[in-house]
Amino acid sequence: MILDFKKLVKFDIKKFSSYKSARSLCVKGNIWLNANESPISYEFSTVNKHLNRYPDSQSKDILYKYSKYSNIDYNNILISRGIDESIELLIKTFCNPFVDKIIYFYPTYDMYKITAEIFGVESIKIFLKNDSLKKYEKIKNNINYIKLIYICRPNNPTGCLMSKKELINILEITFGKALVIVDEAYIEFCILESVVPLIKKYSNLVVLRTLSKAFGLAGIRCGFTLANSEIIKILNKVISPYPIPSITYEIANFALNKSFLNFMEKTVLKLNKNKNWLLKELKKISYVKKIFKSFANYILVEFYDSSFIFKNMNKKGIILRDQSYKKGLKNCIRISVGNKIECKKLIYELKKKIL
């Protein structure tokens, strides 16, 4: 007798569309420019030989080092399995299912909406292109229902940066009523724009950080939540007992040393230089319709026929990220900034007379 497991699934999950990660798309290629990963890797040799013991729930060494790096007290930091766990943890902690709502600015990272759906929390989207007045009105009109507002800054996939003035206005509108979560996954590529210093003034501000992007450590899944110490205490009640593997702690501990931080900063300079070169070369291509301004390690490009470009690059082994399915991003492709060889190969193939 075969059990129909679909009968056991939550009703909202039955109609649920999962997030399609870069790896899950299973596309073959040798130049990966679709996941905003760092193309520059650092070779580690782990020495942890005591894997029979559970790791610390929150490593004090990592907390102290990240405190020094981010210039905020260690009591204001929580370590998580990447930013994705932080997104989930905040919804689990602060949102009542089928009662509370979240707001996110569209188009953006899909996991804000998807995570809310999984936990039975309604999401309201505000278009990034709306003028400030419209944005504030929509927030004010829903202020009695929303608990969390997610802002990706720099935004993925557009690369744009919400102004600090606009963000502060949102913080003041929601003060005492909702938390404003700023996802700074890509902030090292424009570090002076970080809003971490605002946490001291605005207790409703939460900042999410990661070692996945500029640090080039996507494989260890290590993220940080920076917030008022009372928020951190509450999140510590909800987070799983041993969220971070010992080997992740070991590598993160090394990555926050001065020598590796210097390596990371040099990597950022290289990738920003490669991005500027890519921007200059993309402007020379006739079938590029629009290039979005980017503050991160990727460029969103609107082509006259993105489907043809996407498929053609796949054939050449160059894997890009299609964004054309998102409203307002028709014919758009996101290109992660690779190393110089990868960037040159991409431009060489794009400049061929393929149209």
Q: Which residues pair with 225 in a beta bridge?
A: 78, 208
Q: Given pLDDT bands bounded at 50, 70 and 90, which one contains residue 26?
A: low
Q: What is the pLDDT of residue 354?
A: 53
pLDDT digits (tens, 9 = 90+) for 38-88: 999 888 777 676 788 899 999 999 999 999 999 999 999 999 999 999 999
Please give the pLDDT value at position 9. 75
274 and 252 within one domain = no
pLDDT of residue 53: 87
Show which of 222, 256, 290 is a domain's final residue.
Answer: 256
My answer on whether 206 and 320 are in the same domain is no
Number of H helices, E strands in the chain: 11, 13
Q: Is 23 or 90 the better-scoring residue by pLDDT?
A: 90
Domain annotation covers residue 188: yes
Domain boundary among 197, 225, 256: 256
Which pLDDT score is estimated for 43? 82
Task: Look up residue 296 and give its DSSP letter.
Answer: S
Half-sphere exposure of 119 (CA within 13 A, CB side): 22
The CATH number of the domain where 288 resides is what? 3.90.1150.10
6 falls within a domain: no
Q: Provide the CATH number for the domain around residue 150.
A: 3.40.640.10
151 and 77 in one domain? yes
Closest CA to 255 of 224, 295, 296, 297: 224
CA distance 71 to 65: 10
Give pLDDT, residue 297.
98
Q: What is the share, in percent, of the chain residues with pLDDT greater than 90?
A: 85
Say if residue 99 is in the same domain as residue 200.
yes
Q: Is the pLDDT of residue 12 over 90?
A: no
Helices marked H in the chain — which ranges?
11-14, 60-70, 82-94, 111-118, 132-141, 164-174, 229-238, 246-255, 258-282, 306-315, 340-351
Considering the domain boundaries, does residue 142 fall inside one?
A: yes
Q: What is the pLDDT of residues 172-214, one digit of tens each?
A: 999 999 999 999 999 999 999 999 999 999 999 999 999 999 9
User: Are 168 and 73 contained in the same domain?
Assistant: yes
Are 156 and 206 found together in one domain? yes
* pTM for this entry: 0.94
User: Are 130 and 247 part of one and the same domain?
Assistant: yes
Range of the domain at 294: 22-38+270-350
The values of phi and psi at residue 152, to 5°, are -85, 120
Q: How much is the average pLDDT of 229-241?
A: 96
Q: How confident is the model at residue 18 (pLDDT cuts 50, 70, 90)?
A: low
- Model confidence pLDDT, tens digit, residues 124-134: 999 998 889 99
Task: Determine the pLDDT at residue 41.
Answer: 87
Mean pLDDT estimate for the chain = 93
If DSSP codes are grouped into helix, strand and coil, which group holds residue 44?
coil
Last residue of a domain, one of 232, 256, 280: 256
How long is the chain? 355
